[in-house]
Amino acid sequence: MSTEEKVSAGAALKSVPSSVQGVVGIDPWLEPFTEELAYRRKLADDWLIKLDNTEGGLSKFADSYKQMGFHVNADNSITYKEYAPNAVGACLIGDFNDWSHHANVMTKDEFGFFKVIVPAIDGRPAIPHDSRVKIYMTLPTGEKIDRLPVYINRATPPPKEYGHSNYEARFWNPDAQYVFKHKRPELPDSLKIYEAHVGISTPEPRIGTYKEFTKNVLPMIKDLGYNTVQLMSIMEHAYYASFGYQITSFFAISSRFGTPEDLKELIDTAHSLGIRVLLDIVHSHASKNVTDGLNMFDGTDYCYFHAGPKGVHDQWDSRLFNYGHYETLRFLLSNLKFYLEEYRFDGFRFDGITSMLYKHHGIGEGFSGNYSEYLDPWGPVDKESLTYMMLANDLCREYSKSNNCTITTVAEDVSGYPTLCMSRDAGGVGFDYRLAMSIPDMWIKLLKHAKDEEWDLAAITHTLSNRRYKEKCIAYAESHDQALVGDKTLAFWLMDAEMYTNMSCLSELTPVVDRGLQLHKMIRLITQSLGGEAYLNFEGNEFGHPEWLDFPRVGNDQSYHYARRQFNLIHDDNLRYKLLYNFDKAMNETETKYVWMNCEPAYVSLKHDGDKVVVFERNNKLFIFNFHPTNSYTDYRVGIERAGTYRIILNSDRAEFGGHDRIDEAKSEFFTTPFGWNGRQNYIQVYLPSRTALVLSLVEEINKVQELK
């Protein structure tokens, strides 16, 4: 930028409200919308001022979970507090008082909160640990209803002999409280996320447990080189087949996997291994269940949700929160802090952000990228929901500062909302990362509709690199969405015809399996290295899991056959799955040593459709991909900016990765020639076998890495 341009840009920026100068300075195309951006930020900032005046600040407001629900006092009496403004009377009932409607009557204050203190008996809590409890309410009409307490931290299905499926709230107060032993790991240079579901993380057709995950899966995640695990389906959900996206009890962790102490042990053990743990949190909607959920809690449909049709998501058949309601904010923000404090999660992946962002919830809508779609003052954006997202990110930042840690927030958004992953201080929404949801869609469409020789490398590299500047993305080739029944994983698209017959090392390597092995590796590497600032993989997909994912339901006779991950396959030396596992491990380990993700975007110097070759540089590493099915190239000329001597640090053609060992790496040393090529100042010449990916680094950097090791 010239001096005149800088002066002009500086003058233009002075006319922008100070609250959003940061985002406009990064993206000048936002300038026509600065007033709306400033207004949206002010909505959240005004809430911060209000909470400072009424609650002592955002963080103390989020501490409300320490007063709401059940709490054992110093004298072993128990306080129970609940918000139910429509009810005219309430009492606490349970096993402890023989479900009496008269023994523990609650008092109501002017704000709609009911409260009762249950005195200790002989110095012990009157409510036994793990006993059943409910709130019993009287409505203005005289109708009597009972509900599970909203802030309950334990809910379980009833024994089968009870003849019903309604969940039961449990007073959880074990004598032995889990004590965390390990600090949260520091934020790594690059996030490598292993998306996992505890219940399916066992080879047997049954529900796995927190303890089994701790013992069997965490060491594997560590071995693979992932530094973060994203746990799905943790918040309690009555319907297992919902994949954890129809929450019934927000403060309870899924009892089908074990106890709260078991989950705390899992997270603590992960921390001891240097693995951070993200919670897949669902604040975009809630289950419509009445008897074991939040719906119609106090006899109205608007206690925590919007009333009427506005409070219903038709496609998800669920309830939608009223993010402009004071007590809904208390509930949701407290929920976040509860999981940060009580379980020591290291952050959140916020589900359904697109649904939250827009009044149309993204249903039937396409997003062209035109800024007016997002920033028109009278457009479809739900500003109350947007305000909640800003406050949620503020809370995570405050918690990070006060606890000397880094809490990570991830947005699942397909719309491309601008400023979503820019800091609140700059005028953004405040998320750290967004999921690059267009990437897996691209791979599936490509494998489904195009022959190998028809691949459009320009389109592929554009999709991988097309993201907003200074807004970090998590790239992934496939997640749980692609593994679900009704879709196919990449391995299935590549090899399903021979997945059950020719994956044995004792059988001849067929063209179908060979193609599948090579492209599976290349797709993952180019996605990780070009597609974002972080990377995600769904458990089992790293080794080409041979089956899809389907939870027990009426449609499959309640079978658990597909609700599992067959990790046993990677330990069978006679099967080829271990080869893909080996590559995934090597890819992650190489990135950890040499770092290419959390850096400036890559420079793509070549995308040759005829040769089917892609070349790019990122953080001084050179990436070369030959996607051609049959053509190998000798002395292929590749542009490179930085002069020096290069060697291979990762080669997908190694035999240990299911490749053909066509490159003698010991003799492969590449010297730059100072002659411009493909827009770079130098070039090297390499041997490039068909369907092979190479990563090269300067020898001096390789030596530094080896010295550090």
pLDDT tens figures, 372-400: 999 999 999 999 999 999 999 999 999 99
Pick the closest to residue 472 from 525, 531, 527, 397 (CA basis): 531
The burial class, CB within 10 Å (0-12 / 13-18 / 19+), for 697 is buried
Q: CA 475 to CA 532: how far, in whole Å?
A: 5
DSSP helix/strand/coil, 568:
helix
Q: How confident is the model at residue 482 (pLDDT cuts 50, 70, 90)?
A: confident
Whether the predicted pLDDT of 194 surpasses 90? yes
- pLDDT for 162 equals 65
E strands of 478-577, at which residues?
Answer: 534-538
Whether the predicted pLDDT of 555 surpasses 60? yes
Whether the predicted pLDDT of 1 surpasses 60? no
Whether the predicted pLDDT of 5 surpasses 50? no
Pick the closest to residue 180 from 405, 340, 344 (CA basis): 344
Q: How confident is the model at residue 708 (pLDDT cuts 50, 70, 90)?
A: confident
Cβ-based neighbour number of residue 469 at 10 Å: 8
Residue that has been written with the tokens 């300038």 in this structure: 31
Q: Is the model more confident about 9 or about 692?
A: 692
- pLDDT (tens digit, 9 = 90+) per residue, 10-59? 545 668 999 999 999 999 999 999 999 999 999 999 999 999 999 999 99
Q: How confident is the model at residue 327 (pLDDT cuts 50, 70, 90)?
A: very high
Q: How confident is the model at residue 450 (pLDDT cuts 50, 70, 90)?
A: very high
- pLDDT for 158 equals 85
| Percent residues over pLDDT 70 in the chain | 97
Whether the predicted pLDDT of 170 surpasses 50? yes
Lowest mean pLDDT among 187-191, 341-345, 384-388, 547-551: 547-551
Q: CA 470 to CA 418: how far, in whole Å?
A: 11
Pick the closest to residue 177 from 250, 252, 265, 96 (CA basis): 265
Q: CA 451 to CA 167: how far, in whole Å?
A: 51
- pLDDT (tens digit, 9 = 90+) per residue, 273-285? 999 999 999 999 9
Domain segments of the chain: what residues? 3-62, 75-171, 603-708
Whether the predicted pLDDT of 6 surpasses 50? no
Whether the CB-CB separation of 348 and 409 falls below 8 Å is answered with yes
Q: Report the predicted TM-score, pTM, of the whole model to 2 decimal places.
A: 0.96
Q: How confident is the model at residue 467 (pLDDT cuts 50, 70, 90)?
A: very high
- pLDDT for 163 equals 60
Active site residues: 351, 412
- pLDDT (tens digit, 9 = 90+) per residue, 213-263? 999 999 999 999 999 999 999 999 999 999 999 999 999 999 999 999 999
Distances (CA, A) of 301 to 113, 297, 566: 17, 8, 43
Whether the predicted pLDDT of 462 surpasses 90? yes
- pLDDT for 7 equals 39
**What are φ and ψ of residue 610, in 5° steps?**
-70, -50
- pLDDT for 205 equals 95
Whether the predicted pLDDT of 161 surpasses 90? no
- pLDDT for 493 equals 93
Q: Which fold, 75-171?
A: Immunoglobulin-like (2.60.40)
For the domain covering 603-708, report its CATH number. 2.60.40.1180
- CB hemisphere CA count around 130 (13 angstroms): 8
- pLDDT (tens digit, 9 = 90+) per residue, 417-432? 999 999 999 999 999 9
Q: How confident is the model at residue 3 (pLDDT cuts 50, 70, 90)?
A: very low
Q: Is the model more confident about 160 or about 419?
A: 419
Q: What number is the average pLDDT over the span 619-634?
A: 97
Give Cβ neighbours of residue 689 (< 8 Å, ≥ 6 apart): 626, 632, 653, 660, 662, 663
Whether the predicted pLDDT of 360 surpasses 70? yes
Whether the CB-CB separation of 221 and 275 falls below 8 Å is answered with yes
The burial class, CB within 10 Å (0-12 / 13-18 / 19+), for 2 is exposed
How would you classify the pairing of strands 312-313 and 286-287?
A: unpaired
Q: What is the mean pLDDT of the chain?
A: 95
Q: What number is the average pLDDT over the span 558-578?
A: 95
- pLDDT (tens digit, 9 = 90+) per residue, 104-154? 999 999 999 999 999 999 999 999 999 999 999 999 999 999 999 999 999
DSSP helix/strand/coil, 597:
coil
Give Cβ neighbours of residue 110 (< 8 Å, ≥ 6 apart): none
